[in-house]
């Protein structure tokens, strides 16, 4: 048991723990160059105020680089540069009047907040321009307004050159990185799945980690699709490399399906004694898959310059298959034993399918250096949204209501920032614009996000301020100041994706040293920074709690309904294929991906709920239960999707049509309950539904065991039927159980939310 002191230390350190991933060193170096080069030029020309102005613009434009295709980044960075160039002179003009500063701050920040209605990139541009506006309100008069405009454009252009410099040389680099990241996450997903019987890990811990990795991979595939589409849109005509990357991206989705099914089957037979006889070989084969997948990711990222050898993987697969065949020749007396053997065969088959697909993808990756244009017309997997004036106005018009979370957040931002400017001026707080800056950074659309950012921002600023006091008091030489700034910038922005608290801890001394470039030895400004951050953090929390709050408890039913509806559509597509093998399966990957995204969205919504004040959360147990079994339902359907690869379609499953109809009726009612608060209908008799299917499978296994004495190696109709139907019966039983638990969870949820 942890002592009280240890628990407090752990709680205090939690905001500064690194998230999984690697530091983005390239981003840190790029941002450091964007910031420091203008300052160097200012020092050399004896115009340090010009240098710091251009450096500030370059820093903010660099922050606006959200990644993606070069063409998309160019548009975002250009918009940020223009916004920054307009914001700074305007803020200087209105800053001379208290009441004008408050009014224009509200209008500017409110308008910038509305940009969030148009996606993450537009939201980033709005956020950056708002920060530049409030930072510049108290700026000294020199340089002149026109000079400020020119310096902002120069600094922004410098940042754009650094971010987009490789566009012409390596146009596919963003796609290569995005697709490679998908395969890295696939490796992590397989590695987690291989720990199915590892000591010290509870099933709940394993499930949480699998959900996290699944959601991360789903989001990465979605991001890679958008990047691929943007690159394709910006380059006239298709190229061999573009088509190869598209195939690799589609294969990543298919590989994810196989891994989810493999995990599900391992869970089904995890306690079966026969699995222990193959456990070592299964784990060795899966570890070789992990190693090969990671090398393949490096090969994709390098554009095919890395060689991928699969010798060790093939050897592990051969050993696994040999051991499985030896297991199959043993004599079995109980149908339970044969049931386990059938599922073990399915596990080995899934691992072999992953290996075969990996061989194909390795061959594709080896040819990625070919950029020759081809005449093949390949449809975009995710068409770019091209905004026109009507769509922009329609989106804005649709959100001009207080029911819109986007409008409420924009109002919250504008009012809180304006209030911060007014209070800072009224109380004569030194560098009071930092108070408004803190409000902008901390306020999020949901209170949970605001609370988390407030802790990280305030904690990081206090610790960083202490560091800044020592640095500012010790370093008075411009060269040493610049060197320290460069190092701090590299580390801060390299760690930013991994932990915001550490980023702020390093950013605070960076800002203090930037100020000390023009006024060396001014360590007292660190204390002002801490004070302003504390005041701004308090205002942000008050604004997030009182001004048009969007509590997740009120929005969660709609998201849960969307998730169950997406899972239901996925289930209908898959199960109808088993009932009628002539059904078209081409649409299954699309509905699977949509269901995966909605499950990820539901998990994120639940995390936001848990981060809100406890008295506003309500009863969370039904929500978490519903989420867990909605995800399990998705995984079961995904296992059925993967089984279509081996399904012959020759042997219909009795009772499956009735099962499909009943499940659809139940799930549609669950959606109606969540969306419209309609009455929850009682569950039908699930045991009766499953009885016909289970009896049929039991008889099949009995018949096959009788065949083993005379025809052990022959693929008979009975054997093929067993292979077709065992997985179906297993997953149908799991689906029935999952839907029953979802029904009970919604009954409890309905009682706590609507009474």
Bond into 67 cis (ω within 30) = no
Two tokens, residue 276? 């222990």
How many Å apart are CA 250 and CA 96, to the nearest integer? Answer: 57
Distance of CA 646 to the CA centre of its chain: 32
The residues with which 374 forms a beta bridge, in sequence order, are 238
**CA distances for 326 relative to 1, 181, 277, angstroms:** 47, 38, 10
φ and ψ of 256, to 5 deg: -60, -40
How many Å apart are CA 216 and CA 218, to the nearest integer? Answer: 5
Contact 150, 122 (CB under 8 A): no
How many Å apart are CA 313 and CA 330, to the nearest integer? Answer: 27
How many Å apart are CA 429 and CA 674, to the nearest integer? Answer: 49
How many Å apart are CA 295 and CA 649, to the nearest integer? Answer: 37
How many Å apart are CA 239 and CA 130, to the nearest integer? Answer: 40
**C-beta contacts of 553-557 below 8 A and 24+ residues apart:** 553/609, 553/612, 553/616, 553/617, 553/618, 553/753, 555/405, 555/605, 556/605, 556/606, 556/609, 556/623, 557/674, 557/675, 557/749, 557/753
φ and ψ of 238, to 5 deg: -90, 155
Q: pLDDT at position 384, please? A: 42
Strands (E), 591-746: none
How many Å apart are CA 628 and CA 285, to the nearest integer? Answer: 29
Domains of the chain: residue spans and CATH: 13-167+406-546 (no CATH), 173-370 (1.20.58), 552-753 (1.20.120)
φ and ψ of 322, to 5 deg: -65, -45
Q: pLDDT at position 332, please? A: 58
Residues 6+ away with beta carbon under 8 Å from 556: 605, 606, 609, 623
How many Å apart are CA 183 and CA 171, to the nearest integer? Answer: 20
Q: Which residues of 340-352 are buried (b: 16+ CB within 10 A; e: fewer)?
A: bbbbbbbbbbbbe
Residue with tokens 């029953």: 740
C-beta atoms surrounding 660 within 10 Å: 18
How many Å apart are CA 516 and CA 311, to the nearest integer? Answer: 59
**CA within 13 Å, CB half, 622:** 20
Q: Which of 70, 128, 114, 94 is nearest to 437 (CA)?
A: 128
How many Å apart are CA 204 and CA 196, to the nearest integer? Answer: 12
How many Å apart are CA 461 and CA 437, to the nearest integer? Answer: 13
How many Å apart are CA 372 and CA 124, to the nearest integer? Answer: 35
How many Å apart are CA 365 and CA 324, to the nearest integer? Answer: 31
Q: How many DSSP H helices and E strands does the chain contain?
A: 28, 2
How many Å apart are CA 511 and CA 446, to the nearest integer? Answer: 28
C-beta atoms surrounding 329 within 10 Å: 9
Q: For the residues of 707-734, what is the DSSP string, one character each?
A: HHTT-SSS--HHHHHHHHHHHHHHHHHH
Per residue in 396-408, pLDDT (tens digit) is: 888 888 888 889 9
How many Å apart are CA 677 and CA 747, to the nearest integer? Answer: 11
Contact 54, 85 (CB under 8 A): no
Strands (E), 358-491: 373-374
Angle among Cα 330, 336, 338 to the nearest 5 degrees reads 40
How many Å apart are CA 663 and CA 683, to the nearest integer? Answer: 10
Q: pLDDT at position 372, please? A: 54
Two tokens, residue 485? 């700034």
Distance of CA 541 to the CA centre of its chain: 26
The list of the chain residues with pLDDT below 50 reads: 1, 373-387
**CA distances for 624 relative to 2, 219, 261, 264, angstroms:** 27, 21, 23, 20
Two tokens, residue 243? 């088509």
Contact 229, 322 (CB under 8 A): no
Two tokens, residue 236? 């006239």
Two tokens, residue 160? 């754009």
């Amino acid at each position: 048991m942890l002592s009280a002191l240890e628990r407090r230390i752990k709680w205090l350190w939690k905001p500064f723990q690194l998230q999984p991933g690697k530091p983005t060193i390239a981003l840190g170096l790029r941002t450091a160059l964007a910031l420091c080069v203008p300052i160097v030029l200012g020092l050399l020309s004896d115009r340090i105020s010009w240098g710091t102005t251009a450096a500030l613009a370059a820093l903010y434009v660099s922050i606006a680089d959200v990644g993606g295709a070069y063409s998309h980044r160019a548009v975002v960075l250009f918009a940020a540069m223009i916004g920054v160039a307009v914001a700074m002179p305007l803020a200087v003009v209105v800053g001379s009047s208290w009441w004008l500063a408050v009014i224009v701050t509200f209008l500017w920040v409110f308008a910038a907040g509305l940009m969030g209605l148009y996606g993450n990139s537009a939201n980033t541009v709005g956020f950056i321009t708002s920060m530049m506006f409030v930072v510049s309100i108290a700026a000294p008069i020199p340089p002149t307004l026109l000079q400020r405009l020119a310096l902002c454009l120069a600094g922004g252009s410098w940042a754009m050159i650094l971010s987009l410099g490789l566009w012409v040389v390596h146009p596919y680099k963003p796609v290569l990185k995005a697709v490679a990241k998908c395969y890295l996450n696939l490796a992590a997903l397989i590695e987690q799945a291989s720990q199915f019987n590892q000591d010290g890990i509870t099933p709940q811990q394993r499930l949480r980690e699998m959900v996290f990795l699944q959601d991360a991979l789903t989001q990465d595939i979605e991001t890679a699709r958008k990047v691929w589409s943007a690159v394709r849109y910006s380059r006239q005509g298709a190229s061999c490399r573009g088509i190869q990357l598209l195939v690799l991206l589609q294969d990543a989705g298919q590989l994810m399906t196989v891994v989810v099914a493999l995990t599900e089957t391992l869970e089904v037979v995890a306690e079966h004694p026969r699995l222990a006889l193959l456990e070592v070989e299964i784990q060795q084969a899966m570890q070789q898959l992990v190693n090969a997948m990671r090398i393949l990711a490096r090969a994709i990222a390098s554009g095919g310059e890395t060689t991928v050898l699969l010798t060790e993987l093939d050897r592990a697969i051969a050993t696994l298959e040999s051991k499985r065949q030896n297991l199959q020749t043993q004599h079995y007396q109980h149908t339970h034993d044969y049931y386990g053997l059938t599922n073990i065969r399915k596990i080995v088959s899934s691992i072999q399918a992953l290996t075969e697909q990996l061989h194909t993808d390795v061959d594709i990756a080896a040819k990625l250096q070919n950029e020759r244009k081809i005449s093949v017309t390949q449809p975009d997997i995710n068409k770019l949204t091209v905004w026109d004036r009507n769509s922009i106005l329609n989106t804005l018009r649709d959100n001009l209501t207080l029911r819109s979370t986007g409008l409420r957040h924009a109002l919250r931002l504008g009012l809180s920032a304006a209030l911060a400017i007014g209070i800072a001026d009224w109380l004569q707080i030194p560098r009071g614009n930092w108070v408004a800056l803190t409000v902008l950074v901390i306020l999020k659309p949901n209170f949970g996000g605001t609370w988390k950012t407030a802790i990280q921002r305030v904690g990081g600023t206090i610790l960083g301020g202490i560091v800044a006091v020592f640095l500012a008091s010790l370093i008075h030489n411009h060269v040493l100041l610049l060197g320290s700034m460069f190092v701090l910038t590299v580390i801060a922005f390299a760690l930013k994706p991994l932990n915001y608290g550490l980023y702020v801890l390093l950013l605070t001394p960076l800002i203090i040293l930037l100020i000390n470039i023009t006024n060396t030895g001014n360590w007292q400004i660190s204390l002002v920074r801490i004070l302003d951050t504390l005041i701004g953090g308090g205002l942000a929390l008050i604004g997030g709690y009182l001004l048009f709050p969007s509590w997740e408890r009120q929005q969660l039913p709609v998201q849960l309904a969307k998730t169950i509806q997406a899972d239901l559509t996925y289930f209908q597509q898959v199960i109808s294929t088993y009932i009628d093998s002539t059904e078209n399966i081409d649409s299954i990957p699309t509905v699977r991906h949509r269901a995966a995204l909605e499950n990820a969205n539901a998990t994120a919504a639940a995390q936001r709920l848990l981060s809100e004040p406890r008295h506003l959360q309500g009863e969370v147990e039904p929500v978490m239960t519903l989420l867990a079994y909605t995800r399990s339902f998705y995984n079961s359907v995904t296992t059925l999707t993967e089984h279509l690869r081996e399904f012959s379609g020759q042997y219909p499953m009795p009772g499956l049509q009735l099962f499909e109809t009943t499940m659809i009726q139940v799930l549609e009612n669950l959606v109606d309950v969540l969306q419209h608060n309609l009455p929850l209908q009682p569950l039908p008799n699930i045991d009766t539904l499953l009885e016909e299917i289970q009896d049929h499978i039991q008889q099949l296994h009995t018949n096959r065991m009788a065949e083993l004495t005379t025809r052990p190696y022959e693929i008979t109709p009975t054997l093929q039927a067993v292979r077709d139907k065992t997985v179906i019966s297993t997953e149908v039983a799991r689906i029935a159980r999952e839907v029953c638990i979802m029904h009970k969870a919604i009954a409890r949820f309905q009682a706590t939310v609507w009474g």
